Amino acid sequence: MAYDSNNIFARILRGEIPCRKAYEDDHVLAFHDIHPQAPTHILVIPKGAYVSAADFGATASDAEIAAFTRAVSRIAAEAGVEGSGYRLISNHGPDSHQEVPHYHVHILGGRQLGRLVTPL
Ligand code: 5GP
């Protein structure tokens, strides 16, 4: 899938749409989800143009991948959910219901999150 530079997270990165920022460095931006599913619900995105986890894992540089992984851990710790626990979710493609086609990881915490997926 080609990257759509008009997706909502690309527009947030360009400053065209506001966000409640949680963290930023050279490679990464993190902000609070507009429809939080838990007391802590932060979205972590790379600044590079990657559609999803598959694209990021296959084509991002080692520096981007390292920065992203370290940022996720740091953001969760700074959000105060490292002790109580948290869940990382990254949706890729139609079966996952990925809504925004710019790679992102959800950090969810601050409550009991239940089972990994809803039983069928
Ligand atoms: P996905 O289903 O793609 O994994 O998750 C996309 C997430 O982006 C959803 O949880 C949704 O609430 C969030 N989202 C969509 N549009 C916006 C927006 O304009 N601002 C923020 N902060 N979050 C958004």
Mean pLDDT calculated for residue range 38-55: 98
Strands 21-24 and 105-109: unpaired
Mean confidence (pLDDT) of the chain? 97
Ligand 1 centre distance from Cα of residue 43 (Å): 8
Q: pLDDT value at position 80?
A: 98
Q: Where are the alpha helices (DSSP H) in 3-114?
A: 8-13, 53-59, 62-79
pLDDT value at position 118?
A: 82
Q: Percentage of the chain surpassing pLDDT 90?
A: 95
Average pLDDT over residues 100-117: 96
For residue 62, give both structure tokens: 């080692």
Q: What is the mean pLDDT of residues 97-116?
A: 97
Is the pLDDT at 120 greater than 90, yes or no? no
Does 92 qualify as catalytic in the annotation?
no
- CB of 101 closer than 8 Å to CB of 1: yes
Rounded to the nearest angstrom, the distance between the alpha carbon of 31 and the centre of ligand 1 is: 10
| Closest ligand 1 atom to Cα of 17 | 19
CA distances from 12 to 32, 64, 73, 85, 100 (A): 12, 19, 22, 28, 12
End-to-end CA distance of the chain: 29
For the cut 80, the answer to whether the pLDDT of residue 92 exceeds it is yes
What does pTM read for this prediction?
Answer: 0.97
Which of 120, 61, 51 lies closest to 91, judged by CA? Answer: 51
